[in-house]
Amino acid sequence: MVEKAELQGWDINEMAQKVALDIPDGAYVNLGIGIPEKVAAFVPEGREVIYHTENGLLGMGKTPEAGKEDPELINAGKKAVTTIPGACFFHHADSFTMIRGKHIDVCVLGALQVAANGDLANWSTGEPGAIPAVGGAMDLVAGVKTIYVITRHTTKTGESKIVKQCSYPLTGKAVVNRIYTNLAVIDVRETGLFVRELAPGISFEYLQSQTEARLNP
Amino acid sequence: MINKLVSTVSEAVSGVFDGATIMIGGFGEAGSPIELIHALVDQGAKDLTIVSNNTGSGEVGLAALIAHKRVRKMICSFPRTANSTVFPELYKKGEIELELVPQGTLAERIRAGGAGIPAFYTPTSFGTPLAEGKETRIFDGVTYVMENAIKADFALVKARSADRYGNLIYNKTARNFGPIMCTAAKTTLVQVQHFVDLGDIDPEIVVTPGIFVQHVVVVENPADESKLVAENRRYPW
């Protein structure tokens, strides 16, 4: 079951490429830790996108070569990065002024669950005894103009991540604009979830069968 | 004459008292004032409330201070990081308190503390467990959560260069919480790699004006926290 699910639809790189194509030229973009970071590799030629990392850098460049890492030049995932010409550093209050003040155009995030109304849960499974940690996720979803979620359509155990109502603690209410999964690209509108594109070989009926929330074709 | 330079890290932290609230700069190891923290471990103040984005890694720096049971409460946004074991163990045993704050709200609470603003409204965290019990208010149809400023007795910050007035410049993403923490503490202690003459820092590029800094100490070659953690070092050595 799990094996089968992993083979369906687009792979992670294809999903990241779908996201990259939807980011316009000139956008200021914040990429979440993990899969969202892959989006940077697929920005089409001719588009100039500036990456923001909330620990205090606008104009984040590629990963440095091995041996050239600087422990004081890192991204929000605490990994070594580089700067592009024209980059700038700033403190945390300025960084979150960019976020909360709606100056960042697009944020791409992972998800545990997304609800039909755009509610996002991506910071905690709410397990008793677990140590809660939130970082900048709640600020990003509250402040960035467009929120894209990139995630597998179902969990490793086959449960739908696109749900009627999130059972995990929320990161933000009605904040997600579009969801990119291995099976489809889905728009979140005030009137519900609308399928924008289906992965090759995936029918709307099959997609609905893998989705707890109701979809509109 | 104004001269904020002190000669040793132990002299810098000598005034820290039991029960103090202390802001500690850094995002992970970037900007963490590890030598000042180690001096604080040696100094012995306890029952501390620490405001810092993370909780340290391995058993050096902030993690060492926590391991020595000096910290009563952590106010932070992300208490779990790679190699962070000390805080999780004490938290699970109920031996340390945690106030979890979204990262941008943490930054703004500190900024407000330094700016003389007692509280503010933010859209962040509305509708989530972190807004429970907090006052909310609607502006232009959007619901905002009220958050209180944070002020501290001390701030421990790492910067690249300082002059004797306490003007500071930082290094890359190690700047992070430093500038706002300097403004929000009664006594700000800064460790720098370079101590320069007045005028050597172009007034156009001063990041923290010296008015926000009380003491500066030079640590020419600060330890690389991740290397210490990789070598399983534990403070005190």
For B165-182, write each residue's pLDDT tens digit.
999 999 999 999 999 999
- Is A130 within 8 Å of chain B by CB? no
For B93-128, write each residue's pLDDT tens digit.
999 999 999 999 999 999 999 999 999 999 999 999
The CA-based angle B4-B8-B12, given to 5 degrees, is 55
To test the contact with chain A by mutation, choose from B53, B66, B128 the residue with the greatest count of A C-beta atoms within 10 A, namely B128
Nearest CB partner across the interface for A91, out of B79, B100, B176: B176
pLDDT at B81: 79
- Is A128 within 8 Å of chain B by CB? no
To test the contact with chain A by mutation, choose from B172, B183, B219, B224 the residue with the greatest count of A C-beta atoms within 10 A, namely B172
Closest approach of A89 to chain B, Cα-based (Å): 6
Q: Is position A197 annotated as part of the catalytic site?
A: no
For A22-54, write each residue's pLDDT tens digit.
999 999 999 998 899 999 999 999 999 999 999
The structural domains of chain B, with segments of one domain joined by +, span 9-118+149-228
CB pairs under 8 A between A and B: 147
For residue A178, pLDDT over 70 is answered with yes
B9-118+149-228 to CATH, choices 3.40.30.10, 3.40.1080.10, 3.40.50.300, 3.30.30.10:
3.40.1080.10
CB–CB of B173 and A72 under 8 A? Answer: yes
Provide the chain A residues 74-93 that lie in CB contact (below 8 A) with chain B: 74-75, 78, 83, 89-93
Q: Which residue of A has its CA nearest to B113?
A: A93
Q: Which two tokens stand for residue A14?
A: 């294809």
Residues B53, B75: contact at Cβ < 8 Å?
A: no
CA B125 to CA B145: how far, in whole Å? 7
For B18-72, write each residue's pLDDT tens digit.
999 999 999 999 999 999 999 999 999 999 999 999 999 999 999 999 999 999 9
pLDDT at A2: 44
CB–CB of B79 and A136 under 8 A? Answer: no
* Long-range contacts of A38-43, Cβ-Cβ distance < 8 Å, separation of 24 or more: A38/A12, A38/A13, A39/A108, A39/A150, A41/A13, A41/A16, A42/A13, A42/A16, A42/A17
Nearest CB partner across the interface for B123, out of A70, A119, A142: A142
CB–CB of B102 and A93 under 8 A? Answer: no
CA A60 to CA A42: how far, in whole Å? 15
CB–CB of B29 and A71 under 8 A? Answer: yes
Chain B residues closer than 8 Å to A171 by CB: 128
Q: Which residue of A has its CA nearest to B114?
A: A93
pLDDT at B54: 97
For residue A159, pLDDT over 80 is answered with yes
The H or E element spanning position B41 is helix B34-43
Strand locations in chain A (E): 28-31, 50-53, 57-60, 83-89, 106-109, 113-115, 120-121, 146-150, 162-163, 178-180, 184-189, 192-198, 215-216
Place of tokens 């007045």: B198
Q: What is the dihedral of CA B225, B226, B231, B232, to 10 degrees?
A: 70
Nearest CB partner across the interface for B100, out of A78, A134, A170: A134
Q: Is residue A7 very low, low, confident or very high in pLDDT (cuts 50, 70, 90)?
A: low
Q: Is residue B209 very low, low, confident or very high in pLDDT (cuts 50, 70, 90)?
A: very high
CB–CB of A170 and B127 under 8 A? Answer: yes
- Is A61 within 8 Å of chain B by CB? no
Place of tokens 């992972």: A110
Residues A74, A50: contact at Cβ < 8 Å?
A: no
For A53-75, write each residue's pLDDT tens digit.
999 999 999 999 999 999 999 99
Q: What is the mean pLDDT of residues A185-191?
A: 97
Residues B206, B181: contact at Cβ < 8 Å?
A: no
Q: Which two tokens stand for residue B14?
A: 């000598």
Percent of chain B past pLDDT 70, that is, above it, reads 100
Q: Domains of chain A by range and CATH?
A: 2-216 (3.40.1080.10)
pLDDT at A1: 42
Closest approach of B123 to chain A, Cα-based (Å): 6
CB–CB of A92 and B180 under 8 A? Answer: yes
Percent of chain A past pLDDT 70, that is, above it, reads 97
Q: Is residue B188 very low, low, confident or very high in pLDDT (cuts 50, 70, 90)?
A: very high
Q: Which residue type does B182 have?
A: C
Catalytic residue among A3, A14, A54, A197: A54
CA B42 to CA B45: how far, in whole Å? 9
Q: Classify each residue of B181-191 as buried b or exposed e, where b means 16 or more C-beta atoms within 10 Å of its C-beta.
A: bbbbbebbbbb
Chain A residues closer than 8 Å to B25 by CB: none
Closest approach of B161 to chain A, Cα-based (Å): 15
CA B73 to chain centre: 14
What's chain A's average pLDDT?
95
Q: Which residue of B has its CA nearest to A142?
A: B124
To test the contact with chain B by mutation, choose from A69, A91, A168 the residue with the greatest count of B C-beta atoms within 10 A, namely A91
For B213-227, write each residue's pLDDT tens digit.
999 999 999 999 999
SS3 content of chain B, % helix, strand, coil (to 5): 25, 30, 45
Q: Which residue of B has its CA nearest to A87?
A: B172
CB–CB of A143 and B104 under 8 A? Answer: yes
For A105-154, write each residue's pLDDT tens digit.
999 999 999 999 999 999 999 888 889 999 999 999 999 999 999 999 99
